[in-house]
């Protein structure tokens, strides 16, 4: 089979061959396999720019990798023994030969969209709204790749709103001071300009149709979780929802008003966690990180809501930075939550 070898930088010590596509690429030091593929201009289906979803799942044919996540959260034992792994959460320890489960492209494909508006949610988080040529029909919790033709770069962002009738789609995006893509997308001067939009990807979603729901979000992850709640009102009827949200200041809890609106029809308890500014005098607001309080919050909830005391019956949605997700997963595992009922969207720190 003819190999198409993509190389934009000097050759690295290690390389990876995708045996069923003909692509091969250099493996960058300390980078995940997915990051190396992206740097080489190869688009592997993935969700790790906004989280972990098994979208990039591959099979290891030859070589050695180190996984940054516990695989038993994602695969059953037979799949692990067969060599399934996530390139987005794995670093190569040797030259690799892998097999992808979905088609691989050499560049992002999709349809054209026009930047319709940019609105402020916080000083650092903006809502980007696009109008596409035709409906793309995403589900709440999914993401897509947005490509800037002028920069020949793309990033993955979760949908915060979708309207297939008007073909308008919104994404909550954190502005990175040194991030070429976020700076371009969120520049008001680019309203009216075209970007490329891939097909919707990912399966971040509500896992169970009964039992209480725990939501943990930080930063722009608020929008993705709120979107799932809005689209799941029938599934959540009569169920308790505990929504824990971590931000630097209370003003950055930008979905608080919409959560209050949803609370008129759903049993939502929203607890803000503030990591930097003081919370003196604020009611039902916690000082510090979610993970520093998570065990006590859940134990107190179970004491006050005895019917929710069996944590194996809970569903969990996590959306935020890797540290928040990994630390939360460790605590939930210790407390007896069922891994099959946990879905998470781990935002990769890519610099935007």
Torsions phi, psi for 198 (to 5 deg): -80, 175
Q: Which of 80, 77, 191 is nearest to 127 (CA)?
A: 191
Question: For each of the chain's 352 residues, which pLDDT tens digit applies?
Answer: 333 344 444 444 799 999 988 888 999 988 999 989 887 878 777 655 434 567 789 999 999 999 988 888 788 899 999 999 999 889 999 999 999 987 776 544 579 999 999 999 999 999 999 999 999 999 999 999 899 988 878 888 999 999 999 999 999 999 998 889 999 999 999 999 999 999 888 888 998 899 999 999 999 999 999 999 999 999 999 999 999 999 999 999 999 999 999 999 999 999 999 999 888 878 889 999 999 999 999 999 999 999 999 999 999 999 999 899 999 999 999 999 999 999 998 886 555 6
Find the angle CA(29)-CA(52)-CA(322) to the nearest 5 degrees. 65
Strand order in the sheet with 286-287: 286-287, 267-274, 240-247, 213-218, 315-320, 342-346
Q: How far apart are CA 178 and CA 275, in angstroms?
A: 23
CA 10 to chain centre: 31
Beta bridge pairs of residue 273: 246, 286
Tokens of 275: 């990591």
Q: pLDDT value at position 349? A: 58
Domains of the chain plus CATH, in order, are: 14-105 (3.10.20.30), 107-198 (2.40.30.10), 213-346 (3.40.50.80)
CA distance 295 to 58: 34
Which residues have CB under 8 Å from 127's CB, separation 6+? 117, 118, 119, 120, 121, 160, 161, 170, 171, 172, 173, 223
């Amino acid at each position: 089979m003819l190999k198409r070898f993509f190389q934009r930088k000097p050759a690295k010590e290690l390389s990876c061959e995708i045996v069923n596509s003909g692509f091969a690429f250099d493996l960058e030091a300390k980078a995940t396999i997915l990051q190396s593929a992206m740097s080489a201009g190869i688009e592997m289906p993935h969700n790790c720019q906004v989280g972990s979803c098994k979208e990039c799942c591959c099979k290891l044919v030859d070589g050695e990798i180190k996984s940054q996540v516990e695989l038993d959260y994602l695969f059953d034992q037979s799949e692990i023994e067969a060599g399934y792994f996530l390139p987005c959460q794995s670093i190569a320890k040797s030259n690799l030969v892998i097999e992808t489960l979905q088609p691989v492209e050499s560049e992002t494909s999709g349809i054209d969209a026009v930047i319709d508006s940019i609105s402020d949610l916080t000083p650092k988080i903006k809502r980007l709204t696009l109008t596409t040529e035709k409906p793309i029909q995403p589900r709440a919790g999914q993401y897509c790749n947005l490509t800037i033709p002028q920069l020949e770069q793309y990033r993955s962002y979760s949908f915060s709103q979708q309207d297939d009738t008007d073909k308008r789609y919104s994404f909550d995006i954190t502005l990175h001071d040194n991030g070429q893509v976020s700076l371009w997308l969120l520049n008001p001067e680019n309203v009216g300009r075209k970007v490329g939009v891939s097909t919707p990807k990912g399966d971040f979603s509500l896992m169970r149709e009964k039992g209480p729901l725990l939501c943990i979000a930080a930063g722009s992850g608020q929008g993705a979780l709120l979107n799932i709640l809005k689209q799941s009102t029938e599934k959540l009827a009569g169920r308790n929802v505990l929504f824990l949200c971590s931000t630097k200041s209370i003003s950055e809890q930008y979905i608080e008003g919409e959560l209050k609106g949803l609370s008129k029809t759903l049993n939502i308890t929203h607890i803000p966690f503030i990591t930097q500014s003081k919370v003196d005098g604020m009611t039902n607001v916690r000082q510090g990180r979610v993970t520093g309080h998570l065990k006590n919050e859940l134990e107190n909830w179970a004491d006050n809501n005895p019917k929710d005391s069996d944590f194996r019956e809970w569903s969990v949605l996590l959306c935020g930075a890797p540290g928040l997700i990994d630390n939360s997963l460790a605590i939930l595992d210790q407390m007896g939550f069922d891994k099959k009922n946990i879905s998470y969207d781990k935002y990769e720190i890519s610099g935007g």
